[in-house]
Structure 1
Amino acid sequence: MISRRGLLFASGGAVTAATLAGPVAGSSRAAGAAPPDPARKAAALIMARRILLTDADHNDLTLDYLKLLTGRQRLRKTESRDVLVVGAGVAGMVCARLLQAAGHRVRVLEANRSRVGGRVKTFRGDVWQDPRLHAEAGAMRIPSSHVLTLALADHLKVPRRPFDLVDLPPEPDQVSDDSRVVYKSWTGEEFASGEAPVYVAPKGLGNRFVHVNGQTVSKADYNADPGPINKSFGWDSGQTTAAAFDKALDTARAYTMTKNPDGSWTDKPIAERVTGMADLLYDMDGYSLLRYLQEGEGWSDAQIQAVGTLENLTSRLSYGFLHSVFDAGDINPSVTYFEFNAGTDALTEALAADLAIERGRVVTRVRTDDDGVTVTAEPETGPEDEACDGAIGGQAREYRADMVVLAVPFAALRHVDFEPLLPYGKRRAINELKHDTAHKVLLEFTERWWEWDEATWREKLGSDYRPAPHGDAVAAVGGGCVSDEASRFVYFPSHPSDGGAPGGVVLAAYNWAEDALRFDALTPADRHTEALEHLTGLYGERIRHYVTDRHVSQSWLRNRWALGEAVIETPGQLLSLGPHVATPVNGRLFFAGDHCQPRYHAWISGAIASGTEAAVQVADTA
């Protein structure tokens, strides 16, 4: 993945980078550019503050939210109100808990009959041949910089441990316990939780594979000599794809950070950072990632294909450039990650405790009047995923509330009737925001063969032993492979199996965007076949000795209530639609979900931030 961290938003962080480039040609700052557009400037400032989680007075909202989430601070005390929260995902439940703690009467409606959690979903139990196992259909890793998620989990006493994005020796097992979570605000105040030292992940072995254009090498070999793989794309360069993309982000980085004499980067003061972020949005919101790399950085098609393939950018080249900038600090080997010991749904189950949640209630109508809001909900039947049977309908029920928080994806709100109509900007955002997709295929194995060296393989297989196709096996946990085949990315578990189970579950195919659509179109059986074929191509037919007949795939596009993985804006949508996304309507309707927090789309942290923001908005309005 991409070797970079912090980028525009690290608090006090630093990034090593190459020579700084100026604003791209054709931007609003270029010679001969059109006069500034005041409305677009205003939208850029609104979105800059939302991305940096600050306000007009440069208060640090991350710091405020941390205090609210951990009980160190309470919402403003107001008259108790009846509040209905629609959606029992992370955002909805965070909002409901904060409002309930402040004395409001809160009910939560959830469309899904079988579970809460939204796109946090853990496969466990009789899904697997060994019911002790679990694996993630959705959210699976939390970057150490996502302090809202980690601090909330610590507050709820949800144990966590390292998630290894790179491969590590299988022994000893790495344990983080209550490793310290530290947030240093630009105000000078520091928030911390946990008693153990800050956990720092060890350096990876680099023995997982890069498999592209018919060549297969270890990641360590690629990093030592990138030339042969790069040339297979037609890009004659000795630079790694991670380093190339990191350098390409210098143009964006310079808007909000200062380059130091030693080549590192430091955040500008918050007022300058807000101004810089607003300028960045104004200048580049109209750029796709492809356009930025071609026009701004002068990249050839060959370089774009090489970097795009190895750094998981190809499927999103047509999306807004800024999403790739924001994501760059979250998914890369230099970041420390965590996972929850008992599965990610341990967090959502903890959030659901003590909340009044009615499941199997699909909201179909929202009517607002001078005295409050009436919500109509109907029951549903059928499975949540890829449902070819079942329906919404039956005995409708009406719910009356003073205020309603709509904490569901905008793709779902398209199927809700509003009376009166929502404001035009809000309707546009609901109808037009790009919802991306993601797809996972998970395979169960009776033995953890990825933790074996070649001697162990010989011992296990005896007379059936055959050598591996790409060199001797190296014992490791965690990490993953990248490929240009349909499966694209493979991840191995970094945790021991629950209850001492001898086997484990491999994420054998993980895809986004156009790559995911190809898997969405297959039957579940064909997905399994293709993912297993790809895995055997990397590690040999010998792994078939240990695969079970249990497999599961998750298409978030074909999930009835998610209707996609996350909002990923297309060029121009951050400024044209972004300011309308989280804006309350008439002091009665409020909105939450990771789509409402533009810095953290598709992350639990975005859902937490937006749920907290919605709770603050309700409390300030009540």
Structure 2
Amino acid sequence: MLGALGGKHVIVAGAGLAGLSAARELERRGATVTLVEARARVGGRVWTLRDGFAAGQHAEAGADLIEGEQTHLRRLARDLGLKTVRILRDSFGFYGPDAKGRRRIHAMSGGLAMVGARIGGLVGDFKLAEQRWDSAIAARLARRSVAEWLDGIHAPLEMKAALRGFRGFFLADPEDLSLIALVEQFASDGTPGRGEILRIRDGNDRLPAEVVRRLRGRVLMRTVLRRIRQTERSVTASIEDDSGRVTEIDGDAIVVAIPASTARHVVFEPSLPEPQQSAIARLRYGPATRLLLQFERRFWKKRGRPLAFGTDLPIGALWDGNEQQARTPGILTFLAGGNASRETRQVLAAEGEAGIVRRLTWLGRPSTLLASKTIVWDDDPWVGGGYAYFDPGFDPLCRAWLARPAGRIVFAGEHTSVRWQGYMNGAIESGLRAAAEADALVASQ
């Protein structure tokens, strides 16, 4: 396909799924692409760990679960010849207090059905506004926290616990999460993980690795975007390599496919519009610690019980991290989001992995621990958290600015997606959208 981008040069900053998706689509549309990535690897928050586990097993240190309706991701995997496998067929359970305060395993659907019943009126109003974030309804929802709403409706203990457990999904505790994020989730499709759940059979990192292998343009690793200057007809990107040398690249357009937490340190000349600067500066990224524990056997596997659980415990959410591999050994993966990220690290610092294992007896008698890996996304210099979330201080009018082009600069990344914010699918979709926008901008100028 050769359109307006034929013979044009487009710079892409960021080799996560958004940037790789954009680069691939830009080349398909005829552009010459230069891809710039700060890390020593591609994939960004898609990162499969393959070393240090017994029996040659692997598990995901970052983005893991793929939902069946995430068509852009599944189509890309299929186009690249990568096989997905279905996992977690019984979806998620929840471990927390019941109505009498007794801790036990529940069906996740129970607590969330309770939430759905109580939040239904707000969801209905939000749908009447066509789920727009520029409505008076959105403004009212956005400035309240989930915790304030729970207190206002005198929510029972088990409902509060269920939403505390949702920090493994939103990466934010009820005190830190805007009510609009919860309402939007229920307005869109209710609870996550109700349909098919999949992962790429040989590791999710095969996706970025295969995309970059097929790119024709230059890929500059360990290279940081520092500045973007633009005129009516071109852009110039100042980049810094790992030796500290700064060079410039000229192009016809640039795709900024890096997290807002990184983009806020890039100098834009001329400056971005004030609302866009504010959106990028104010967007928060949820604390997230991933813990991968490999056990001699899958002691958590019981007939009639799911292989994944949300909890309101310091350990966060957990699920079988490699059920598509050999039956034994097995890897249990944890996502401690929000304050659980800090709480998990406190347990590890004070008690080691044994402290985590002691908190798993509700799953069964733990088998021998063979290996352990901890990944703290909060400390990652290129993102500073797991993925974006919206707090009560974020102006809902600013959300649209996260994805809005500025001259010959277009933006991509999971944080710019509306339907799939926080997901790999959202990153891929945003990259496709950014490539199409770059094509449209070049054609019209």
TM-score range normalised by the length of the shorter chain: 0.7 to 0.9
Q: Deviations along 1:233-292, whole A, 9 cap, x unmatched?
A: xxxxxxx422211112312332476xxxxxxxxxx9xxx846799564255233322333
Residue of structure 2 in register with 1:580 after alignment: 401
Residue of structure 2 in register with 1:26 after alignment: none
Describe the SS at the equivalent of 2:415.
helix
Q: Deviations along 1:4-51, whole A, 9 cap, x unmatched?
A: xxxxxxxxxxxxxxxxxxxxxxxxxxxxxxxxxxxxxxxxxxxxxxxx
Residue of structure 1 in register with 2:213 after alignment: 353
Residue of structure 2 in register with 1:59 after alignment: none
Offset of 1:347 from its aligned partner? 1.7
Contact 1:557 1:563 survives alignment (8 Å): yes
Contact 1:165 1:337 survives alignment (8 Å): yes
Q: Distance in 2 between matches of 1:492 and 1:373?
A: 46
Q: Distance in 2 between matches of 1:614 and 1:379?
A: 25
Residue of structure 2 in register with 1:429 after alignment: 279
Q: Distance in 1 between matches of 2:432 and 2:395?
A: 21
Describe the SS at the equivalent of 2:21.
helix
User: 1:208-287 to 2 correspondence within 5 Å?
Assistant: 209-210=95-96, 215-219=102-106, 240-255=110-125, 273=130, 278=135, 280-287=137-144
Residue of structure 2 in register with 1:120 after alignment: 46
Q: Distance in 1 between matches of 2:397 and 2:222?
A: 35
Residue of structure 2 in register with 1:606 after alignment: 426
User: 1:100-499 to 2 correspondence within 5 Å?
Assistant: 100-113=27-40, 115-124=41-50, 126-130=51-55, 132-164=56-88, 166=90, 209-210=95-96, 215-219=102-106, 240-255=110-125, 273=130, 278=135, 280-295=137-152, 298-300=153-155, 302=157, 304-312=159-167, 315-328=173-186, 329=189, 331-332=191-192, 334-355=194-215, 356=217, 357-380=219-242, 393-451=243-301, 474-475=302-303, 479-493=307-321, 495-497=323-325
Offset of 1:321 from its aligned partner? 1.4
275 and 417 in structure 1: CA distance in 2 versus 1, 3 angstrom threshold: closer
Structure 1: give runs of 5+ residues left out of the alignment. 1-73, 168-203, 224-239, 258-267, 381-392, 452-473
Offset of 1:92 from its aligned partner? 0.5
Report which of the two structures shows the higher radius of gyration computed on alpha carbons: 1
Q: Distance in 2 between matches of 1:592 and 1:346?
A: 21
Offset of 1:572 from its aligned partner? 5.6
Residue of structure 2 in register with 1:547 after alignment: 369
Letter in 2 for 1:157: G
Residue of structure 1 in register with 2:22 after alignment: 95
Describe the SS at the equivalent of 2:85.
strand
Letter in 1 for 2:439: A
Contact 2:96 2:161 survives alignment (8 Å): no
Q: Distance in 2 between matches of 1:129 and 1:145?
A: 33
Letter in 1 for 2:174: R
403 and 504 in structure 1: CA distance in 2 versus 1, 3 angstrom threshold: same
Q: How many residues align?
A: 434
Mean Cα displacement is larger for which, 323-332 or 84-93?
Answer: 323-332
Residue of structure 1 in register with 2:356 after alignment: 531
Residue of structure 2 in register with 1:172 after alignment: none
Q: Distance in 1 between matches of 2:340 and 2:324?
A: 30
Q: Deviations along 1:107-150, whole A, 9 cap, x unmatched?
A: 1011111x2111111111x23233x2111111111122222222
Q: TM-score, normalised by structure 1?
A: 0.63
Q: Distance in 2 between matches of 1:566 and 1:620?
A: 29
Q: Deviations along 1:418-452, whole A, 9 cap, x unmatched?
A: 3332222222122111221221111112333444x
Contact 1:99 1:615 survives alignment (8 Å): yes
Q: Deviations along 1:205-227, whole A, 9 cap, x unmatched?
A: x7x8547898443336x98xxxx
Q: Distance in 2 between matches of 1:211 and 1:490?
A: 17
Contact 1:411 1:431 survives alignment (8 Å): yes
536 and 275 in structure 1: CA distance in 2 versus 1, 3 angstrom threshold: closer
Q: Distance in 1 between matches of 2:363 and 2:306?
A: 16
Identity of aligned residues (%): 23
Describe the SS at the equivalent of 1:252.
helix
Q: Distance in 2 between matches of 1:136 and 1:594?
A: 18
Q: Distance in 2 between matches of 1:441 and 1:211?
A: 24
Structure 2: give runs of 5+ residues left out of the alignment. none
Q: Distance in 2 between matches of 1:242 and 1:304?
A: 8
Contact 1:316 1:513 survives alignment (8 Å): no
Contact 1:255 1:276 survives alignment (8 Å): no
Describe the SS at the equivalent of 2:331.
strand
Residue of structure 1 in register with 2:389 after alignment: 568
525 and 517 in structure 1: CA distance in 2 versus 1, 3 angstrom threshold: closer
